[in-house]
Amino acid sequence: MPRVKLFARFREIAGVSEVEVDGRNLREVMENLCNKYPKLRETLFEGEKLRDFVQIMVNGKNARGNLEYQVGEKDLIAIFPPVSGG
């Protein structure tokens, strides 16, 4: 199963930093993640649409805009909230 790493606020909401979640594409992984941790749904999604500020990387590649992005058994999916610096 793909591994999902959650960062910052997302990690706090779920109460875990890393979890295995089944899915063949990001849409399925995100749906299964939200089923496992229901409080994440309102933070990650607005209705059926992923919120604009959610950043998703698959094996270090930006996959943010594409929930149909295919994932494999050994992939690492990282989900980040907005990042700001000073």
pLDDT digits (tens, 9 = 90+) for 25-42: 999 999 999 999 999 999
- Counting as low any pLDDT under 70, the low residues of the chain are 84-86
* pLDDT number for residue 48: 86
Q: Which of 2.30.40.10, 3.10.20.30, 2.60.120.620, 3.30.70.1140 is the CATH number of 3-80?
A: 3.10.20.30
pTM attached to this predicted model: 0.91
Domain boundaries, the chain: 3-80
* pLDDT number for residue 82: 79
Rounded Cα distance between 77 and 22, Å, is 12
* pLDDT number for residue 25: 97
One-character DSSP codes across 30-85: HHHHHHHSTHHHHHHEETTEEPTT-EEEETTEE-TT-TT-B--TT-EEEEE-----
